[in-house]
Amino acid sequence: MAAATLADRPETDTRSRIVATAERLFREIGYQKTTVADIAKSLKMSPANVYRFFDSKKAINEAVAERLMGEVEAALDAIIARPEPAARRFRDLVDAIHRMNTDRYTGSQRMHEIVEVAMVESWPVVQGHIERVLGLFEQLMAEGKASGEFVLDDPRRAALCAKTAILRFLHPQLLVQCANEPGPSLDEMTDFVLVALGVRGPS
């Protein structure tokens, strides 16, 4: 088993290098302008060698998106696992998604391109990420209900309502489109959601 793991590592390392290089080039020259040839040249390998690991540019693009979204999910998992009140974790969960998506996508128009294409084409990796994040919201709602912090009947429905209420602060496209629109702050909307969930007092 150990030998097989070691044998697989060079291929895994090469795939990781391709994804990391693609992400860097997306930031430097843009998602649309980056070609497989560009990625291969930066890695000092042939395009044919890149295609040994990814069968298309779209597959590389999806791997970059999966890497970025995986980092967000790991941060959220850590928040959910904390032995803290559900209301406190809800606030931190929302803040983390907002901060990480803002850092990744709204600060760079070049990186925002990948979000636009992913949404238009409905990449499976994006749909999976959306469902996993909603699942974390649902888990938190269920835990808040069990502890008596949240007053709700259906954790899934409560998760959908809460996520929808603050979507403009979480969704990469809406973060850009609504940046200059008047409205409540993220903290104000989070307070509003927590009151709707039955939370009274500071959280």
CATH number, domain with residue 126: 1.10.357.10
Is the pLDDT higher at 87 or at 69?
A: 87
Strands (DSSP E) along 38-168, which ranges?
A: none
Pair 10, 88 in one domain: no
Length in residues, the chain:
203
- Rounded Cα distance, 193 and 166, in Å: 8
Report yes or no on whether pTM surpasses 0.85. Answer: no
How does pLDDT run across 13-26, given as a tens digit for each residue? 899 999 999 989 98
Q: Residue 43 in 3-state DSSP?
A: coil
pLDDT score for 2: 42
Tell me how many domains the chain contains.
2
Pair 26, 85 in one domain: no
Pair 6, 100 in one domain: no
The answer, yes or no, to whether residue 35 has pLDDT greater than 60, is yes
Pair 150, 199 in one domain: yes
- Rounded to 5 degrees, what angle do the CA atoms 15, 20, 22 make? 95
CATH number, domain with residue 49: 1.10.10.60
Find where tokens 């809460």 sit: 162
- Domain boundary among the residues 34, 55, 76 is at 55
Q: Containing domain of residue 161, as a range?
A: 64-203
